[in-house]
Amino acid sequence: MRSPRYRRMSGLLLLQCFFSMMGAAQSGATTGAAIPVQLLDNLIQGRWYVANYFPIRGNPFLNQNLSTEDVQLLDIRYKALPLWYDIYIDELILSFNQGAEFRYIQLNKEQIRHFDLEGRHFINLAYSPYRDMGLRPGYYEVAFQDKIVLLVKRKLEVKADQENLRSYFSRADIRILIKDEQHYSISNRSSLMEAVGPDLKKEMAAFIKRNKIRFKKAGDAEWLQMIIYLNELQTATR
């Protein structure tokens, strides 16, 4: 599978009988004609997408291979759509065949409520219970949800390699802990302990020490491990 190159052009794409009607849908994309009311339930408004990030090194996609996933667009759930998730621009990309070529559509974020990707669930903050918390808009992975919630904003930054005079993508994920109807950005031991609170701080510190967790090297697995334990503490004290 060839990776997309990035470019945007306004367009409209119909999903009903998606692959068989692709030629007609693309034709409608360029006319600017009014959209028939009876087609609104099957409509995705999107843009052509070509991911040309040269000379930045690295991959902008969260999924390293094309995934067939489910997407909730407004009140309609579409199954097994071929998708990429570009986390540099925080956009979901639909892939399809046009003859011998692959084409890509940047789906309209305003219509996407949630989607799945490689066994992970992502929400659009605008349609979520957390939309009024003052968080950065866009897509968030729901990494854990019970008494407390862990949301992860998958994100890339561009950094400079001064020695080789090149720029490259670097992961800069943002983790949000939602606890007692408050949200906390957690990135290190200090911010986690602030979110944990004084009543459970001692137990959490002992857990971190016992499991030899090093925050500078902590990845998804270590953060999830700590959040699950905090959830257990929260449950036990209620």
Place 112 in a pLDDT band, splitting at 50, 70 and 90: very high
pLDDT of residue 74: 85
Mean pLDDT over all residues of the chain?
Answer: 83
CA distance 68 to 164: 37
Of all residues in the chain, the percent with pLDDT exceeding 90 is 61
Q: Is the pLDDT of residue 26 over 50?
A: no
Q: Which of 50-54, 116-120, 126-130, 172-176 has the lowest mean pLDDT?
A: 50-54
pTM: 0.81
**By three-state DSSP, how is residue 166 classified?**
strand
Place 236 in a pLDDT band, splitting at 50, 70 and 90: confident
Q: Is the pLDDT of residue 115 over 70?
A: yes
Contact yes or no for 86/95 (Cβ under 8 A)? no
Q: Which of 2-16, 27-41, 100-114, 191-205 has the lowest mean pLDDT?
A: 27-41
DSSP type of residue 57: B
pLDDT of residue 97: 74
CA distance 104 to 170: 24
pLDDT of residue 45: 64
Q: Is the pLDDT of residue 20 over 60?
A: no
CA distance 49 to 204: 45
Question: Which has the higher per-residue pLDDT, 28 or 141?
Answer: 141
Distances (CA, A) of 29 to 32, 34, 50: 7, 11, 16
Tell me the two tokens of residue 63: 């999924």
Instruction: For residues 161-173, give the mean pLDDT.
Output: 88
Please name which of 18, 70, 61, 8 lies closest in space to residue 39, comparing C-alpha atoms: 18
Cβ-based neighbour number of residue 96 at 10 Å:
17
- Each residue's pLDDT tens digit, 44-103: 567 888 888 888 999 999 998 998 999 998 888 988 889 999 999 999 999 877 677 778
Tell me the two tokens of residue 179: 């606890």
Tell me the two tokens of residue 91: 């956009």
Contacts of 130 (CB under 8 A, 6+ apart): 140, 149, 151, 178, 183
Contact yes or no for 130/142 (Cβ under 8 A)? no
Place 7 in a pLDDT band, splitting at 50, 70 and 90: very low
